Amino acid sequence: MGKDIIADHARWPRLEDEIFKVSEECKRAIKEKGRDKIINSTLGTLIDDDGNLIAFNSVYDTLKNMDKKSIASYGAIEGDEAYLDLLVDKCFGPYKPKAYIKAVATAGGTGAVRHSLWTFLNQGDYAICPNWYWPAYLTMCEEFDREFKTYEFLDEDFNFNLEEFTKSLDFALEKRDRVVCIFNSPANNPTGFSIEDSMWDKILDVIKSRAVDGKYINILLDVAYIEFAGDGSQKKFFQKFSSLPENIITTVAYSMSKSYTAYGLRAGACIIISSNEDMANRAFDSMKHSNRANLSNITHAGMNILVDIENDEEMKKSYENELELNRLLLEKRAKVFVKKAKEIDLIHLPYFGGFFISIPCNNPKEVSKKLKEKNMYIVANKNGLRFAVCAVSEEKCEISPKLIKEAIDEVNR
């Protein structure tokens, strides 16, 4: 290819960070007009009603009390054993699949998504994903030269669109022998949608029927928001990933970012689930190699926090209380938003938990622009708007649906 100091495969235009851009504009507006006047629905972090980032006391007291040598030292390349064991238990709760389970520490859930795309796909193979998705999936597929194919997420009745998923899976497997099926559930970003247990049965039936000899399917469960997605029963579906055929391998991208309000500590894990011990071990070997090549190892303090909390009954209780309190905060905000939206016929995708609610609309970018005139800063994606219940107070959640509806009507009349 042409002369360039940047190698062919590494040549990308500057990544436009839409969320960061709107967020900066919002900050300026807050400075100018005052916090009370502005609705900041841009951020993907938990924010209290006064606009401050929520950082759990249990987590940061644990960090403050940590021996500096444990912070400064390297962790194991694959992650510390105690961390991985406790993380696996925490992730699955009482619903651990009956299978061979291995885990590799990763820099947040991002690292686990990255490892799955790298380990289970060759160049040109497909990752398939619903069309309401976290944009970093696409960025990673571009980086590693994997194809990224989306399908309509929900059907007309707002159920998971099994038919479109099946078509997409068939397309990918007709073209190639390997596929990664990305599912960001429960509490999907950007919609708050969760796939029900009975739908999981249907999805797995489809996947099993396509797992013929010579085809390899990775089910990637991105559960970044799982701890905010229900009272614990949202983890039941994990049991379904027991005893799957050997050419189906499941990975779970677990993240400490949201569940421990530890976004910047960059800790998580890729949990591998397989009915074949050798395959689980070889996936682990591949990912450990990737760790060495890409990260060396992850933040030791992040791993230690999880271990220290899980091993201290009192701290564990106080962490669980904080988590529950904030889950309920989100639930309350979302309830208010959903109720108001219903009253004025503002259509949004079904919300079951997590940080966001999505409003489908035409011309979302223009609508988002129009909303700035109404002092609301909100992220637009291809299909609509992403309202951040994680960042907007209950009081403002109550007035937001009306503002959004007005802006949609004004832009699309």
**Site for ligand PLP, rule CB under 6 A:** 44, 108-110, 134, 184, 189, 222, 224, 255, 257, 263, 268
- Distance between CA atoms of residues 156 and 375, nearest Å: 32
Q: Which lies closer to ligand PLP via its Cβ, residue 185 or residue 275? A: 185
CA 333 vs. chain centroid, Å, equals 20
Alpha helices (H) in 46-192, listed in sequence order: 57-64, 68-72, 81-92, 108-120, 136-144, 162-175
Q: Cβ of residue 102: shortest distance to ligand PLP, in angstroms?
A: 19
Task: Write phi, then psi, for 196 (nearest 5 degrees).
Answer: -70, 160
Q: Cβ of residue 395: shortest distance to ligand PLP, in angstroms?
A: 25
- Distance between CA atoms of residues 139 and 263, nearest Å: 19
DSSP 51: S
What is the DSSP annotation of 131-145?
SS--THHHHHHHHHT
Q: Which lies closer to ligand PLP via its Cβ, residue 119 or residue 257? A: 257
Q: Cβ of residue 55: shortest distance to ligand PLP, in angstroms?
A: 14
Q: Cβ of residue 76: shortest distance to ligand PLP, in angstroms?
A: 20
Q: Cβ of residue 379: shortest distance to ligand PLP, in angstroms?
A: 12
- Distance between CA atoms of residues 311 and 94, nearest Å: 18
Q: Could you tell me the maximum CA-CA distance found in the chain, to the nearest angstrom?
A: 63
Q: Which lies closer to ligand PLP via its Cβ, residue 107 or residue 179? A: 107
The CB-nearest residue to ligand PLP is 108
Q: Cβ of residue 223: shortest distance to ligand PLP, in angstroms?
A: 8
Nearest to 339 by CA among 401, 408, 406: 401
Instruction: Please say whether the beta carbons of 172 and 216 come within 8 A.
Output: no
Q: Which lies closer to ligand PLP via its Cβ, residue 267 or residue 315? A: 267
Give the pair of three-digit tokens for residue 349: 């995708």
Nearest to 368 by CA among 410, 332, 317, 320: 410
Q: Which lies closer to ligand PLP via its Cβ, residue 41 or residue 110? A: 110
Q: Cβ of residue 381: shortest distance to ligand PLP, in angstroms?
A: 12
Q: Cβ of residue 369: shortest distance to ligand PLP, in angstroms?
A: 24
Nearest to 285 by CA among 31, 144, 104: 104
Nearest to 315 by CA among 60, 48, 46: 60
Q: Cβ of residue 313: shortest distance to ligand PLP, in angstroms?
A: 27
Nearest to 304 by CA among 56, 77, 104, 81: 81
Q: Which lies closer to ligand PLP via its Cβ, residue 221 or residue 279? A: 221
Rg (CA), the chain: 21
- Distance between CA atoms of residues 126 and 141, nearest Å: 9
- Distance between CA atoms of residues 66 and 81, nearest Å: 18
Q: Which lies closer to ligand PLP via its Cβ, residue 254 or residue 284? A: 254
Q: Cβ of residue 22: shortest distance to ligand PLP, in angstroms?
A: 15
Q: Which lies closer to ligand PLP via its Cβ, residue 220 or residue 403? A: 220
Q: Which lies closer to ligand PLP via its Cβ, residue 173 or residue 271? A: 271
Task: Write phi, then psi, for 12 (nearest 5 degrees).
Answer: -135, 145
Q: Cβ of residue 222: shortest distance to ligand PLP, in angstroms?
A: 5
Q: Which lies closer to ligand PLP via its Cβ, residue 43 or residue 173? A: 43
Instruction: Please say whether the beta carbons of 358 and 191 come within 8 A.
Output: yes
> What is the pairing mode between strands 376-380 and 384-388?
antiparallel
Q: Which lies closer to ligand PLP via its Cβ, residue 230 or residue 268? A: 268
